[in-house]
Amino acid sequence: MVVTDRPITIVGCGPGGPAYLTDAARHAVDQAELLIGANRLLALFPDAKGERIAVGADINAALQVMETRLGQTPMVVLVTGDPGLHSLASPVVCHFGRARCRIIPAVSSVQAAFAAAGLDWMDARILSAHGALPDIDTRELAPVGKIAILTGSSAALHWIGELAVRLAPRRILVCEDLTLPGERVTEVKADALIGLEASSRTVVLLVRPEVLEG
């Protein structure tokens, strides 16, 4: 199988700042005849010549659009951050098969969050509260020193606040709009997460105190 012959290329676009777009991503988009992605990802490539189809959060609708165009033209699907972490890439690969997909990796928002905190993430646990809240046994998380949670809604922040109380003591870093002009990293107490209005692009780090003090 020649990888470049695959009809679907899934391109990781990084956390949003244009400086975090890779040359590989730019090259794939430059070559694309058809670009599919959220409006704000399409906007990262103002000079791309290919046809553009904007898709929203409805994954089935996005897959349907791709289905109708498959075989007509090679297509590029844009995803936020790295394709391997809670992105449209998984349903696309699952639906169309690995043999039809090429994946271009990128910087994840989780990497950007740990970098902003000055921490490595080798032993981190990553959860997603983007969309649905995770169904997780808190006891499993108790020994974990670094937890990163993808979020973007008040309901998720509320859930994270309650989780932080159960896992106390934890230091809590709210990392919003990473790599973007409004980037903000704020340390808060657990009760401040309840009712907090944060960006729809937020990663919360729950870190055992000794990890940040080391």
CA–chain centroid gap for 162, Å, is 23
The 27-66 contact track toward ligand SAM, x by CB under 6 A, reads ----------------------------------------
Q: Which is nearer to ligand SAM, 16 or 73 (CB)?
A: 16
CA distance 190 to 138: 16
| From 29, 173, 178, 206, residue interacting with ligand SAM (rule: CB under 6 A) | 178
Task: Report residue 191 as tokens.
Answer: 């009760």
User: Is 175 a residue that touches ligand SAM (CB under 6 A)?
Assistant: yes
CA distance 102 to 48: 19
CB of 105 to ligand SAM, least distance (A): 10
User: Is 117 a residue that touches ligand SAM (CB under 6 A)?
Assistant: no
Footprint of ligand SAM on residues 69-108 (CB under 6 A)?
79-82, 85-87, 108
CB of 170 to ligand SAM, least distance (A): 18
Alpha-helical segments (H) within 143-206: 154-166, 190-193
Of all helices (H) and strands (E), which one includes residue 195? none
CB 193 within 8 A of CB 180: no
Q: Which is nearer to ligand SAM, 78 or 79 (CB)?
A: 79
